[in-house]
Amino acid sequence: MRVIRHFLADGAPQPAAARHGDVYDPNQGTVQARVGLGDAAVLERAVAAARAAQPGWAATNPQRRARVMFEFKRLVEANMEELAHLLSAEHGKVIADSKGDIQRGLEVIEFACGIPHLLKGEHTPGAGPGIDVLSMRVPLGIGAGITPFNFPAMIPMWMFGVAIACGNAFILKPSERDPGVPMRLAELMLEAGAPAGILQVVHGDKEMVDAILDHPDIAAVSFVGSSDIAHYVYSRGVAAGKRVQAMGGAKNHGIVMPDADLDQVVNDLTGAAFGSAGERCMALPVVVPVGEKTALALREKLVPAMAKLKVGISTDPEAHYGPVVNAAHKARVENWIQTCADEGAELVVDGRGYKLQGHEEGFFIGPTLFDHVTPDMSSYREEIFGPVLQMVRAESFEDALALPSRHQYGNGVAIFTRNGHAAREFAARVNVGMVGINVPIPVPVAYHSFGGWKRSAFGDHNQHGTEGVRFWTKVKTITQRWPDGSPDGSNAFVIPTMG
């Protein structure tokens, strides 16, 4: 059976790992590879190589670093088919969705290609008599990224693209569930011209995560995953003196006003709730129709639209979505379905027990719909992360506004309406980090930043955009004077002023 090893720059042989994780084929329900789980000794090898490579990379001028990013982008595009099929084979999402995963990552690489402009500092000539003040952004040194299974291409590129362009070395710990694409991305970065040691990949579980959080030479850590683990990563990393951004879970709401175009809403909902089998932190798993009439009309249109969705293997071009990532996750989602029913919600469409001919052992779950879900239900409060849509009815605009605002998660929210005043009022008042207006999945473009509020994010900086540049650099400010002649030293003991 294929064994996936670490991508290390030192070139030394890698001994057989003491522990392994299984990489499944979600379409068949079988193990297709094993990934060696590393420890602190493996991380130390990666850090040593990064420590040796980073100073020279930081000294490389930003324009030359940008050329490496341009070449990396070209290589990823040239290998798009291979990468998409590898991603789908390990994750289960359909090929078109895998290509979207890769493309959204490449958009941040495109942003990082502008690093010469993004790293420009500030300059004040003549701030005082003969005194100039200037600032510059400098790399932190070695950064690390801990990424989830649901976007094995996009989220790593969100992290390492900006970090490396800024002059840092980067150590990536991807999910052990689907590590193939991150390994190929590291190979392509090396092929693009990045020095050995600038991008390395280590595999592991909590043991490796703790080693990353505790290592004194790793200056910053970026994380995406569940909220409990995000809080743990943030707390332990900050305690160790690191800069940390940790993105957590989500329970995104879609508010449907009475004047919304319901045909468009249903089309948006089926994609946002069930696309990628609901395994997206920006999925839309809660729909909130405002008013009884809206709820009845929406449900009447939604149920037949769900019946037309095709669940299939990841290589089926006609499938709307594929299997979930593994058996454990399938069981988790189905347990939440049972919990929601036990809590008293109406199970309108039950996706459990879905079998695909010829792939009976695959990790498939059909689209599922609940109505009459209430805010006190645990299945509403927690993230299900599967193809499950919950309908929570609201009597008024204010009631609908309060639901996402009071929820423990504050990642994304959407409102569907033709009323500009209602949309503007909602966007201004809702207590959520990313807002869509007639946009079901409001993931910002690469030159803006991604990040939620409340238990959806820990730390002061968002992902990518100029926020990413700020996270992966620190500011150095220089005050300089070039006086005429020799100073007499009469004011040597007086703090300088700009007056």
CA distance 77 to 82: 10
For 476, the token pair is 């150095």
CA distance 462 to 412: 14
Given 113, 166, 281, 340, the catalytic residue = 281
Instruction: Establish whether 113 is a catalytic residue.
Output: no
Cβ atoms of residues 362 and 27 within 8 Å: yes
**Full strand arrangement of the beta sheet holding 169-173:** 199-201, 169-173, 142-146, 220-224, 243-247, 457-458
- Look at residue 19 and give its three-state secondary structure: strand
Helical H segments across 92-205, by residue range: 95-112, 115-118, 154-165, 180-192
- Look at residue 450 and give its three-state secondary structure: strand
Which parts of 195-302 are beta strand (E)?
199-201, 220-224, 243-247, 253-256, 286-289
Vertex 50: Cα angle to 48 and 54 (nearest 5): 130
Instruction: List for the chain the helix, strand, coil content (%; round to 5).
Output: 40, 20, 40
Closest to 282 (Cα-Cα) out of 294, 293, 295, 273: 273
Vertex 433: Cα angle to 429 and 434 (nearest 5): 95
First-to-last alpha carbon distance for the chain, in angstroms, is 73
Closest to 82 (Cα-Cα) out of 149, 167, 153, 169: 153
Cβ atoms of residues 37 and 20 within 8 Å: yes
Cβ atoms of residues 285 and 251 within 8 Å: yes
* Residues catalogued as catalytic: 281
